Structure 1
């Protein structure tokens, strides 16, 4: 693995923007389709269906953008604290459009915004580990000035996602870093900026990703 800094800030920003656009383009496109039906079709049944599609897709797009704001954006000034309740709310909003259920075990407290960013990105990796759906548990424990974060997934054919295996610890020069792979790469960057590393592994049929203190030196 090469050093994480091999990806320039400009390239990283562009790839993350592509990732966010990829996530919201489908529900936004569905809203456009629904509006076209409302404009061109007088069939009452079709118009009801179009309104349902618009409502559902608008909620989905909003949930994805609110999640992305905390997971990828600044979400406050440097050193800011974020409420874990807000993190739970955006996670639950995102999960409404996923095939998996979510359990969230965390205290009612605020923690550093970069820990929230890390936790939400770990959740995204967890979602990608069970493409057929299943169960995801999120646990925030230990000293909240430096919390221990764990995401565990259970589901049919749970696995370590390929992009996570290749990019979580830095850029692999033999693999192409694209908008899909940038998310686990970014997750690793955030962990290392906090003096942590991430361990992604299988425990039996469960996938687990959790924080560990970075080794000295």
Structure 2
């Protein structure tokens, strides 16, 4: 496996591509519905178009609200995010979908990078059950040292391909594309939050576990790809933990 060296501009471009991919479908459906309203006078078709527009608008809004917290700044450096907001945007993402979500977490403010990690792991969990199923999210402990456990259960459950390597900042080619950027970014956020993430599978259930890393966790900072690179100078053990 080769360490992925990703420029800041490439990281932002790939994340933008991911967000656009998620909202193109519902926005396109809205456009189609509007075209039907303009061209078709049949009352049943117009009602169908209005229902499509309403449903697609809610879906696009939910995906953007989720992305705002999962990928966005969501406040200044060192800010906290209410776990209730994380639950709200997560449930919005799964409304009218094939995946059901259970959520158990305290009503509390948590450091933003830990909440961003949680939301990114929810997205990774959906990839573990490609045919849908059930995702159980449990958060326990205090904000400085939480335990996050996600269980994704469904037919043909599997640990998403290459996700463990990409979260560690490596890939077979030393590059990452729009399909793998989510796992790569989640790894950056995990290290910025001082959290270690592990994956396990048993039967039709994939378990994702995030908890404070064994080494002393660094102060919360913004994840950046440059800080994820190995030092060009003599080895320095602190470079492994001082990630964005």
TM-score, length-scaled by structure 1: 0.94
Equivalent-residue separation in structure 2 for 1:99 and 1:176 (angstroms): 32
The C-alpha deviation readout for 1:98-124, integer Å capped at 9, x for no partner, is: 311111010111111111100000000
The C-alpha deviation readout for 1:101-159, integer Å capped at 9, x for no partner, is: 11101011111111110000000010110011111011111222221111111111110
Equivalent-residue separation in structure 1 for 2:206 and 2:74 (angstroms): 29
Equivalent-residue separation in structure 1 for 2:67 and 2:151 (angstroms): 21
Other-structure match for 2:170: 171
Equivalent-residue separation in structure 2 for 1:137 and 1:200 (angstroms): 15
Equivalent-residue separation in structure 2 for 1:105 and 1:141 (angstroms): 8
Which of 1 and 2 has greater Rg? 2
Whose helix proportion is higher, 1 or 2?
1
Matched-pair contact (CA < 8 Å) for 2:145–2:211: no
**Deviation, structure 1 residue 165:** 3.4
Structure 1: 4+ residue segments shifted above 3 A: 1-4
**Deviation, structure 1 residue 183:** 0.2
Aligned residues: CA RMSD: 1.5
**Deviation, structure 1 residue 171:** 2.8
Other-structure match for 2:77: 78
Other-structure match for 1:135: 134
SS across alignment from 2:171: coil
Other-structure match for 2:25: 26
Q: Which moved more, 1:165-174 or 1:81-90?
A: 165-174
Other-structure match for 2:56: 57
Other-structure match for 2:195: 196
Matched-pair contact (CA < 8 Å) for 2:146–2:211: no
Following superposition of structure 1 onto structure 2, how do residues 59-208 of structure 1 map, counting pairs within 5 Å? 59-174=58-173, 176-208=175-207
Equivalent-residue separation in structure 1 for 2:209 and 2:89 (angstroms): 20
Matched-pair contact (CA < 8 Å) for 2:79–2:111: yes
Equivalent-residue separation in structure 2 for 1:79 and 1:175 (angstroms): 31
Q: Which moved more, 1:171-180 or 1:131-140?
A: 171-180
Q: Which runs of 5+ in 1 are unaligned?
A: none
Q: Which runs of 5+ in 2 are unaligned?
A: 216-236, 238-244
SS across alignment from 1:162: coil
Equivalent-residue separation in structure 2 for 1:123 and 1:169 (angstroms): 18
Equivalent-residue separation in structure 2 for 1:176 and 1:132 (angstroms): 28
Equivalent-residue separation in structure 2 for 1:160 and 1:147 (angstroms): 23
Aligned length: 216
**Deviation, structure 1 residue 97:** 4.2
**Deviation, structure 1 residue 185:** 0.8
